Amino acid sequence: MTYKVLATVNHKSLDKKNIKQFKSGALAVAVEKASNGNDFVKHIKSTFFSSTKNQVIAKTIDKAVKDVSSGNITHAWVECPNVKINKILFIKQPDNKAELRKWVEMFTRMVSLANAHNEKELSIHLNDSIISNPFENLVEVAARTVESSSYKFNQTKNKTVKKLPLSKVTFTSFQLSASESRNTSAAVKKGYAIGEGMNATKFLGDLPANHCTPRIIESKAKQLKKIFPKLKIKSLNEKQLAQLKMGSYLSVARGSIEPPRMIIIEYNGGPKNVAPAVLVGKGITFDTGGISLKPSGKMDEMKWDMGGAASVFGVMACAENRPSSKATKPGDVVTSMSGQTIEILNTDAEGRLVLCDALTYVKRYKPKYVIDIATLTGACVVALGQHASGLMSNDQKLADNILAAGENTFDRAWQLPLWDEYQSCTKTNFADLANIGGSGAGTITAACFLSRFAEDFKWAHLDIAGTAWVTSPKKGSTGRPVPLLTEMVLSSK
């Protein structure tokens, strides 16, 4: 599915000639430290505020720039009556040594301030410090940020819907060459698309579990074919999963009246002689823990246990984990698609049970690499909190590329070890593998389990339990790790 919030996000290249025709409801200008403005601001002043009657506005602009650049205030609005630009927002810009996080916060704040002022249209000026930034993809990140930060969930509201007013963002540049202008437009287009992907992930995650079952996800995924006809989309139902001998996967869904679905989305846009990248997402649409029932506090947040599946074009391993008289019991032994038997010591360690069969399934693609994405362990939240996703891999080059993609997009991951010493955690007297280890290193032992099904290809595991959503007061999905995954796939590493 797609989920576009802003109607348009585009780029307009301005010069000394066409600036006279420039119109904007609101214009946002980033102000550098100790700056007296830039050429763009000077031309805005000379074009629109040079007459005697507008001298007061010109002086107000000068004061706003001075106050913001000196750090006296973080932003300032200047009202501009009777001209083509209704108002200008001056906002403090991070210095060039700042982390990418600071830039993301600035663009997010621009959108927030525009909505607070009930603006429907916003122009954001890309100054030289943004276009020629050490972060070469900053324009892309800016476009991604304005789209993703415009998201607001209203789907299941009737009486309390509050739609944000902002619907159009135009990034402006000044005096760029033709090639620079084309590159800037391409970066804006790409960032807008990534932001839309983040919002689609957010929307699927934020839907209540009764509005987002495996079959509903299946339906939404198949609708993508109408928008993107080059996609090949299929799904496997309960009977087909059984025919493939996915006993591990099916054991998770036994307790629920909602049947499982494994949805496969393929895009074959690369060269025929290049092996495909494969993404596998955990899609537990609601996780009660099964017979190993979770505590009731915050159990509502288990609707986000499908965040891995929501973030991928690839294999979406969807099921619901609930207790019933038919549910899998602790101590039951099942046979996975790989032929390995698994003793299920804890039914709340279910994500790895659907993922292991999905990993076995994707072997048929002879992949360049496989990345599985899962809200897998509470231990990862304890270890890394909400800022970094946990990364484990059987190939260091693949891990390095993922880490670099995270740094480049401010969607960061942190690598944890996958040493042989941890592998003993999967031993049991009654099957080939146990689905849980001891009490320590829960994130690593979960990855150790999955690694037993990924020995035939380069593989990495992203545990997004701490990064897929945030809790109160700003409860909601984050859209991560869509930026990281997109960077990884598009970089063709």
242-257 tens-digit pLDDT: 999 999 999 999 999 9
Q: What does the mean pLDDT of the chain come to?
A: 95
SS3 467: coil
Return the pLDDT at 52: 74
Between these two residues, 70 and 345, which has the higher pLDDT value? 345
Q: What is the mean pLDDT of residues 377-395?
A: 97
Can you give the pLDDT at residue 49? Answer: 84
Q: What's the DSSP call for residue 422?
A: G
Active site residue 182: no
Q: What is the mean pLDDT of residues 291-305?
A: 97
pLDDT of residue 35: 67
Query: What is the pLDDT confidence band of residue 20, given thresholds at 50, 70 and 90?
Result: confident
Would you state the pLDDT for residue 394?
Answer: 98
Residues 263, 260: Cα–Cα separation, whole Å = 10
Q: What is the 3-state secondary structure (H, E, C) of the chain?
A: CCCCCCCEEEEEEECCCHHHHCCEEEEEEEECCCCCCCHHHHHHHHHHCCCHHHHHHHHHHHHHHHHHHHCCCCEEEEECCCCCEEEEEEEECCCCCCCHHHHHHHHHHHHHHHHHCCCCEEEEECCHHHHCCCCCCHHHHHHHHHHHCCCCCCCCCCCCCCCCCCCEEEEEEECCCHHHHHHHHHHHHHHHHHHHHHHHHHHHHHCCHHHCCHHHHHHHHHHHHHHCCCCEEEEECHHHHHHCCCHHHHHHHCCCCCCCEEEEEECCCCCCCCCCEEEEEEEEEEECCCCCCCCCCCHHHHHHHHHHHHCCCCEEEEEEECCCCCCCCCCEEEECCCCCEEEECCCCCCHHHHHHHHHHHHHHHCCCEEEEEECCCHHHHHHHCCCCEEEEECCHHHHHHHHHHHHHHCCCEEECCCCHHHHHHHCCCCCCEECCCCCCCHHHHHHHHHHCCCCCCCEEEEECCCCCEECCCCCEECCCCHHHHHHHHHCCC
pLDDT (0 to 100) of residue 37: 63
- Residue 447 clears pLDDT 90, i.e. is over it: yes
Percent of the chain clearing pLDDT 90 (strictly above) = 88
Confidence of residue 296 (pLDDT cuts 50, 70, 90): very high
pLDDT at position 205 is: 98
Length of the chain: 493
Please name the fold of domain 207-490. Aminopeptidase (3.40.630)
The CATH number of the domain covering residues in 8-198: 3.40.220.10
pLDDT for 10 equals 98
- pLDDT of residue 126 exceeding 90, the answer is yes
**147: pLDDT confidence band, cut at 50, 70 and 90?**
very high
Could you give the percent of the chain with pLDDT greater than 70?
Answer: 99
pLDDT digits (tens, 9 = 90+) for 196-215: 999 999 999 999 999 999 99
Q: Which one from 120, 189, 294, 363 is the annotated catalytic residue?
A: 294
Q: In the structure, what pLDDT confidence band is assigned to residue 411 with cuts at 50, 70 and 90?
A: very high
pLDDT score recorded for residue 165: 97
Supply the pLDDT for residue 440.
Answer: 92
List pLDDT tens digits, range 170-196: 999 999 999 999 999 999 999 999 999
Res. 145: pLDDT tops 90 = yes
Q: State the pLDDT at residue 236.
A: 98
| pLDDT at residue 212, as a whole number | 98
Catalytic residue among 352, 452, 458, 480: 352
* Residue 60, pLDDT above cutoff 80: yes
> What pLDDT does residue 45 have?
86
- Quick one: which of 281, 147, 266 has its CA closest to 204? 281
Q: Is 109 a catalytic residue?
A: no
Predicted confidence band of residue 36 (pLDDT cuts 50, 70, 90):
low
Domain positions in the chain are 8-198, 207-490
Give pLDDT tens digits for 76-95.
999 998 788 999 999 999 98
